Structure 1
Amino acid sequence: MEIETHFPSDSDLDFSFTSSTSTFTSSSARTSLSSTPPRNSSSKTHRKNDPHWSAILAAGNLSSSGHLSLSLGHLHLLRHLGTGNLGRVFLCRLKHDENALFALKVVDRDALSAKKLSQVEMEAQVLASLAHPFLPTLYAHLEISHYTCLLIDYCPGGDLHSLLLKQPRHRFPVDSVRFYAAEVLLALEYLHVLGFVYRDLKPENVLRRGDGHVMLSDFDLCFRGEVVPTVRTRARKIVGPTSNCGCFRSGRDGEEVTVTEFVAEPTEAFSKSCVGTHEYLAPEMVNGNGHGNGVDWWAFGVFVYELLYGRTPFKGGSKEGTLRNIVTSGVSYPEDDDVAGYKEARDLTGRLLVKDPRRRLGCARGATDIKRHPFFDGIKWPLMRDYCPPGMRRHVAENRRGRWSWKGYFGKKRYRSWSNGAKWA
């Protein structure tokens, strides 16, 4: 049974604001926002206690098939957050819950070319597939007249690029870079497990949630390839200093341990589309010879470099100069990076920014190989979202049931190091 979709007159969302070329007439009919079954989404480990799903469940109606329906009348538009390549993003909340804030991405399909329409479809497909703490949750997907609306997580912390510009010399400390890079790496790994090549990594697309952890955004440039997951067991010898503090590993130097590794990388993915931000384009993309999963690992190297040094490694005097440098120039580093951790960071970026994708770190075995790099030594990857982010303070409070819950909030004291047990000076 098809449901006629119209814009309800009792909604606070004025879609005439979303396009300068088209308007939309109100009607008394109601439209539903349909999402994946909340009983599945809210039961995932990282969503088990998510108050946003609880608010959605309280506001909407659950059908016998397990799908949730919300009318636009449940949403209250607060303000315009920004405008992207495909549409506009608004901050909104549920009318019955002032604390349930969401981002609503609104796309006017009549104002887009066929190519951009396919990008809208790709983003909706990617969002509907995600269930990861460092990637957005799609709470609702609405198709109404010539508008597509996506209700996703709102990140009050802004993007990493804006935060980077506020740092001394526009550079993050090494420990902060390690933290942000680790969470982005896990997000990219998950996308690749699903077969998606991201192609749009940059600090502007890395948002910060209220608790300081990151969330990737904007998936319209993705494309998909086939993935064959494998599980491998190998012996690994612990080398170098060890520690029982914070996120660092424990164990004896020289001790051999058995490691089980999961590898799922879209190594056969292939595209000839040249898309993305020019400072982050991989050489094979600039040359137009076709590219695959390796472009994400090149971009990851550029991303780490920019967080460390405040600029991208191949930036030239013009767009053409930058592209020329990407293809022909090597990576250079400032001479003032002799602080602890920079040696490993330089080695990591050097292995990622290899022009031949066949020799580039990550292209064969994905994030599995990158996680093993000394720059990330000691990180307990399954516990990543339990670490205290840079600039956040851990506050421990005991709830009524006697369990301990961690609440992060901004503090005024100087943060010493997220990797040293989240201590404060």
Structure 2
Amino acid sequence: MASVEEDSPTFFPSDASDIDHSFTSSASSTSFATTVSGRSSLSLPSFSSSSALRALPHRSSDPHWSAVRAASNLSPDGALHLRHLRLLRHLGSGNLARVFHCRLRGFDASSSSAADFALKVVDLDAVARAGGEPTKDAVDGGRLSHVRTEARVLAELDHPFLPTLYARLDASHYACFLIDYCPGGDLHSVLRRSPGHRLPPNAVRFYAAEVLLALEYLHALGFVYRDLKPENVLLRADGHVMLSDFDLCFQSNVTPALLRQRSLRRRQKRPSTLSRRTCCFGGAQTSGDSDEEEDEEVEFVAEPEAAYSRACVGTHEYLAPEVVNGNGHGNGVDWWAFGVFVYELLYGRTPFKGGSKEATLRNILTQELRFPNVVPAAGDDVAAAKDLISRLLVRDPQRRMGCARGAAEIKRHPFFEGIQWPLIRCARPPVVFSPAGGAQKRAAKEGRGKQQRWWGKWKWSSWNRTTKSIAANSNRGIKLVLGLKKKTKEKDGK
């Protein structure tokens, strides 16, 4: 997957004395928080504008907010400015936006990670020059509407798997947005460093489950994402995911509803004499005779079913058939992309990839869904994953899983059986690759004792043996964190 990047103008004016230029902003040896897409999007990325910011309820206790307030108090006007930030390195570039790792001045690197942020910078003049003809979804200014869209999305997000907008900073014709820094890179980098460029089923299930919750939240707000791909799934310091890039979103009305769902629940007839273990992935494990009884569950469904757009935007390998044929699309494009996403994590490639963009688009419309003969592992997990993918990659949106009941329907699929969804943020990530080649820390030390009781063992089978051998190979510069008690140590010269 060759990277595509247009020449971008130099960011920040020459008179911006409050910017620390003690780094090379035009080159980056590794991929961190945001990377240039390995597959070019059909619409240029841009970023947001925002009104006054405030800490929303879910993330209000995040120490990053305290750091921002402490830095703001040092300013005579009580506001955060660019001079309060020290730029450390260039993380990645898009066509018109760049992302930098920055730290609040006055905070030592070893004292607190709460002072580390990502700064997304957009040249508004370049956006206006490259705007071209407005699309039917952007009659108010072409690509400038994507800037406004991402601003609106970021201002409303308050979710553990979605970024927080901490501040809006402006300098000359540049707009700068302070958001979460994700040192773990992106899932596309993880795949490139994985054996066979794919992940084991349990790791696929973990990442897919967290992405599913992020999509569910976006849809509950009425936003259709339209840009799901591994490049846009970042990894936080603790290994959990965070979606990025919301400039291709569009919004529709949502009517929340509580729906009753009948299901079969296994009932234990005789208590087990074995110890019980509770885990976010697998639930309580018991033994003994059991039978099934019918149970009624109440589901919360908030899906933008009335969403409609005719814009052809997105990444060509992830485009749904209704986008390719130009007949108009709605919320179903995200669930098609989710199926492609699970397929790529499991098999290391997208299902309809052809020799060219035109061939890929033609395959999306006509080619039958096929699964490679060499499966990553044998067992029920792979069979369930194939069934999930088959139900998501249905060309008719009316019959596609998720289009009517959204994530609530997908959560019930056997591939996600046993997941205790409210506890997933406490689960231990299966494997984390550091983009710089070192071992990535598993989770923050704070609160680790509380989370430990929800962590279960990941069954890696042959994957465990394979990754151990790779970790021992220093030539590739890769260290793996496999959930073992013994920590790996980086070798000298990394």
| TM-score, length of structure 1 as denominator length | 0.83
Which residue in the other structure is 1:111 paired with? Answer: 126
Contact 1:351/1:361 (<8 A) preserved: yes
Cα pair distance change 1:254/1:404, threshold 3 Å: same
Highest relative contact order (Cα 8 Å, sep 6+), 1 or 2? 2
1:11 equivalent in alignment to 2:18: yes
Instruction: Note the C-alpha offset of 1:205.
Output: 0.4
Q: Structure 1: which 5+ runs fail to align?
A: 1-5, 20-32, 408-413
Cα pair distance change 1:184/1:144, threshold 3 Å: same
Instruction: Note the C-alpha offset of 1:77.
Output: 1.0
Partner-residue secondary structure (3-state), 1:385: helix
Cα pair distance change 1:315/1:36, threshold 3 Å: same
1:37 equivalent in alignment to 2:54: yes
Partners in 2 of 1:360 and 1:230 — Cα distance?
A: 20
1:238 equivalent in alignment to 2:265: yes
Cα pair distance change 1:12/1:228, threshold 3 Å: same
Between 207-216 and 229-238, the greater mean CA deviation after superposition: 229-238
Contact 2:103/2:117 (<8 A) preserved: yes
Instruction: Note the C-alpha offset of 1:259.
Output: 1.4
Cα pair distance change 1:398/1:62, threshold 3 Å: closer
Which residue in the other structure is 1:278 paired with? Answer: 316
1:182 to 187, 197, 209: 209
1:57 equivalent in alignment to 2:69: yes
1:144 to 171, 184, 188: 171
1:229 equivalent in alignment to 2:256: yes
2:428 to 377, 388, 395: 388
Q: Structure 2: which 5+ runs fail to align?
A: 1-12, 27-49, 132-140, 433-440, 462-481, 486-494
For 1:339, the aligned partner's letter is A
Which residue in the other structure is 1:339 paired with? Answer: 378
Which residue in the other structure is 1:314 paired with? Answer: 352
Instruction: Note the C-alpha offset of 1:146.
Output: 1.5
Partner-residue secondary structure (3-state), 1:350: helix
1:192 equivalent in alignment to 2:219: yes
Residues 259-308 of structure 1 deviation map (CA, whole Å, 9 limit, x = unaligned): 12100000000000000110000000000000000000000000000000
For 2:393, the aligned partner's letter is L
Contact 1:196/1:266 (<8 A) preserved: yes
Which residue in the other structure is 2:98 paired with? Answer: 88
Cα pair distance change 1:256/1:331, threshold 3 Å: same
1:159 equivalent in alignment to 2:186: yes
Normalized per residue, the structure richer in strand is 1
Instruction: Note the C-alpha offset of 1:142.
Output: 2.4
Contact 1:284/1:291 (<8 A) preserved: yes
Instruction: Note the C-alpha offset of 1:232.
Output: 2.0
1:122 to 149, 157, 168: 149
Contact 1:313/1:332 (<8 A) preserved: yes
For 1:363, the aligned partner's letter is C
Partners in 2 of 1:92 and 1:192 — Cα distance?
A: 31
Partner-residue secondary structure (3-state), 1:238: strand
Which residue in the other structure is 1:411 paired with? Answer: none
Partners in 2 of 1:368 and 1:170 — Cα distance?
A: 30
Cα pair distance change 1:378/1:220, threshold 3 Å: same
Instruction: Note the C-alpha offset of 1:415.
Output: 6.1
Cα pair distance change 1:182/1:271, threshold 3 Å: same
Q: Aligned Cα RMSD in Å?
A: 3.1
For 2:405, the aligned partner's letter is R
2:295 to 253, 257, 261: 257
For 1:332, the aligned partner's letter is R
Instruction: Note the C-alpha offset of 1:406.
Output: 4.7
1:357 equivalent in alignment to 2:397: yes
Instruction: Note the C-alpha offset of 1:143.
Output: 3.5
Instruction: Note the C-alpha offset of 1:10.
Output: 5.0
Which residue in the other structure is 2:388 paired with? Answer: 348
Cα pair distance change 1:182/1:313, threshold 3 Å: same
Which residue in the other structure is 1:135 paired with? Answer: 162
Partner-residue secondary structure (3-state), 1:97: coil
Instruction: Note the C-alpha offset of 1:239.
Output: 6.0
Partners in 1 of 2:352 and 2:243 — Cα distance?
A: 23
For 1:53, the aligned partner's letter is W
Residues 316-372 of structure 1 deviation map (CA, whole Å, 9 limit, x = unaligned): 111111000000011100123261210000000000000000000000010010000
Partners in 1 of 2:84 and 2:214 — Cα distance?
A: 31
Residues 177-196 of structure 1 deviation map (CA, whole Å, 9 limit, x = unaligned): 00000000000000000000
Partners in 1 of 2:64 and 2:14 — Cα distance?
A: 24
Instruction: Note the C-alpha offset of 1:234.
Output: 2.9
Partners in 2 of 1:358 and 1:62 — Cα distance?
A: 56
Between 273-282 and 73-82, the greater mean CA deviation after superposition: 73-82
Partner-residue secondary structure (3-state), 1:70: coil
Partners in 2 of 1:349 and 1:314 — Cα distance?
A: 13
Partners in 2 of 1:396 and 1:8 — Cα distance?
A: 39
Cα pair distance change 1:302/1:342, threshold 3 Å: same
Contact 1:298/1:354 (<8 A) preserved: yes
For 1:37, the aligned partner's letter is R
Cα pair distance change 1:423/1:210, threshold 3 Å: closer
Partner-residue secondary structure (3-state), 1:255: strand
Contact 1:13/1:76 (<8 A) preserved: yes
Between 89-98 and 363-372, the greater mean CA deviation after superposition: 89-98
Contact 2:19/2:87 (<8 A) preserved: yes
For 1:101, the aligned partner's letter is D
Instruction: Note the C-alpha offset of 1:390.
Output: 1.0
Instruction: Note the C-alpha offset of 1:154.
Output: 0.6
1:297 to 327, 335, 339: 335
Residues 133-159 of structure 1 deviation map (CA, whole Å, 9 limit, x = unaligned): 000000011243321111100100000
Contact 1:34/1:69 (<8 A) preserved: no
Contact 1:7/1:144 (<8 A) preserved: no
Contact 1:233/1:260 (<8 A) preserved: yes
Partner-residue secondary structure (3-state), 1:364: coil
- % identity of equivalent residues: 59
Contact 2:427/2:451 (<8 A) preserved: no
Partner-residue secondary structure (3-state), 2:122: strand
Contact 2:431/2:483 (<8 A) preserved: no
Instruction: Note the C-alpha offset of 1:59.
Output: 1.3
Residues 107-133 of structure 1 deviation map (CA, whole Å, 9 limit, x = unaligned): 011011242211111111100010000
1:379 equivalent in alignment to 2:419: yes
Cα pair distance change 1:255/1:299, threshold 3 Å: same
Which residue in the other structure is 1:75 paired with? Answer: 85
2:364 to 326, 330, 340: 326
Instruction: Note the C-alpha offset of 1:233.
Output: 2.7
For 1:185, the aligned partner's letter is L
For 1:353, the aligned partner's letter is L
What is the 5 A alignment of 1:17-32?
none
Partner-residue secondary structure (3-state), 2:360: helix
